[in-house]
Amino acid sequence: MATIIILTLITLASADYWTDRAHLIASDSSQNIGSSIVLSDKERQVNNILMGAKFKEYDQGFANPETFLPAQHFFKSKSKIEESGVFKFIQKVPKGASLHSHDSALVSLEYLYNLTYRENLYGCVVNQRLRLHFFDSASGDCEWELIQDLRKQNSSFDEYLRSQLSIIVDDPEKEYPSITQVWNRFMQTFSTVFGLVAYRPVFQDYFYQALKELYDDNVMYIEFRGLLPEVYELNGTTYDPEGVVGLYLETLEDFKSDYADFFGARFIYAPSRSVNNKTADDYVTTATKLKTLFPDFIAGFDLVGPEDRGKPLVQFIPQLLRLSKSMKFFFHAAETNWCGTTTDMNLFDAILLNTTRIGHGYGIVKHPKLLKEVKERHIALEVSPISNQVLKLVDDLRNHPGALLVAGGFPVVITCDDPTFWGAKGLSYDWYMAFMGFASRESDLRMLKQLAINSLKYSAMEEEEKCDAFNKWELMWNRFLDEVLKSSVSKYFDCYTVNRVR
């Protein structure tokens, strides 16, 4: 009898343990981005297709860690990502909005390279960097030569030219031993590309193509940052900031005329942070004027450039307080591994200045109070997985702070930053990295759906416009579900039976 009682007690204790364990696991996962979403019957069917592909790929990585793509440098994993069933699925997902990218690095590298075949493009080399510019006839402080002539003179010129338009290298670990080297190359690439894309006919074609590549990646709306460069004509005529915004709007209207279901675009004026206070005063004047002239297109203001080497936000508080009366902010902050530095402290100033979103915010996980603030204030964090990896903030994307942000249900949007310079295109590559690298093995279609919802929710659109955008996105989402179930896309996903608990 005593033995029976003891066995009964052991059994009860064991049952209590497994019940407690299940409750703890469920409680933990209930915080994840998308965990509150209840899938419909159709969504569950689509989710089964997605998770078959994810479990197969994820578990192969678990068994052979060296093959797991988010743990590899993007320059080495890109071609394999493009073969992934999960990636092909994500390409078809209606992603809502793209909320963080920069004007000189919006398009695919291949399109940017093809622009170098345009007539009247000249090049010259200054300090081992190629400069590009369109001229009717070249003159000035550089030994300009037609690009078409340089191609004829040197059979390896095109290889050199391609190397100047991106930061892609065969051996990134060797080529970029520290963040200093990769950031130097990154900023030099902007200077090379500027003269190419600032020529007015190219400028408009380039922006149209940027919209088209996002549209093809199932993005319906974009908010992008820009310096408002001095756009020029072949005869030397230039456009001031208001004229450049006019070119953007003209191109946007042309695109919407061709693709009526594209929802729209807004511009965040984002000049350099490496300036003095007098120049910052000029920024305020320009931003205020632009917002007055183009209230529906100008979303807000930011300061860009290398945070560790540039001026922190605290240097410009008087100017930013004046500007806050008429302008929303979308500040880059804490794109750094350093805690307690001026770069890190940009987070505090961004939040105190009531920023709408935070660009990167990489260091925020080191500040529990700020994590609480962004969640309570609904300040979205624009997380760019591939950018953070190739610019040497993190090597293995499983270790990215975004993993905590996704697990904790923080207001996250996944963004692409400067896809041209690392050979990406649209949003799908970054969404893949977040879904496979940041998220749990168990994270499913609900996470992708919530990321799309977040992208519209945390956009700069007015509430009525957001409602319209959500309605149109829901139609796209339902079409996507039908297409996955009816089309041949399912051939990419093998059924894969797994034990759901590791």
Among 422, 372, 429, 427, residue whose Cα is nearest residue 397:
429
For the chain, the residue count is 502
Q: Collect all residues with Cβ–Cβ distance below 8 Å to 369 and sequence separation of at least 6.
A: none
Q: Report the relative pairing of strands 145-146 and 129-134 from DSSP bridges.
A: unpaired
- Helix (H) or strand (E) run with residue 487 in it: none
Amino acid at the residue 176: Y
Sheet holding 96-98: strands in order across? 96-98, 219-226, 264-269, 298-301, 328-329
Residues 415/416/418/422 CA torsion (nearest 10 deg): 150
Q: What is the DSSP letter of 143?
A: -
CA distance 435 to 427: 12
How far apart CA 302 and CA 436 sit, in angstroms, is: 30
Residues 6+ apart with CB under 8 A from 452: 93, 94, 95, 96, 473, 477
CA separation for the pair 334, 386 (Å, rounded)? 16
- For the purposes of burial, counting CB atoms within 10 Å of the CB of 442, is it exposed (0-12), middle (13-18) or buried (19 or more)? middle
Q: Which of 100, 360, 367, 400 is catalytic?
A: 360
Among residues 335, 367, 382, 400, the one annotated as catalytic is 335
SS3 string of 351-370?
Answer: HHCCCCEEEECHHHHHCHHH
H/E run at residue 226 = strand 219-226
| Known catalytic membership, residue 335 | yes
d(CA 452, CA 478): 13
**Cα–Cα distance for residue pair 405/415, rounded to 1 Å:** 14
Distance CA 147, CA 155 (A): 12
What is the H or E stretch that residue 219 is in? strand 219-226
- Beta strand 121-126 with 145-146 is antiparallel
CB atoms within 10 A of CB 410: 22
C-alpha 392/C-alpha 180 separation (Å) is 9
List the catalytic residues. Answer: 335, 360
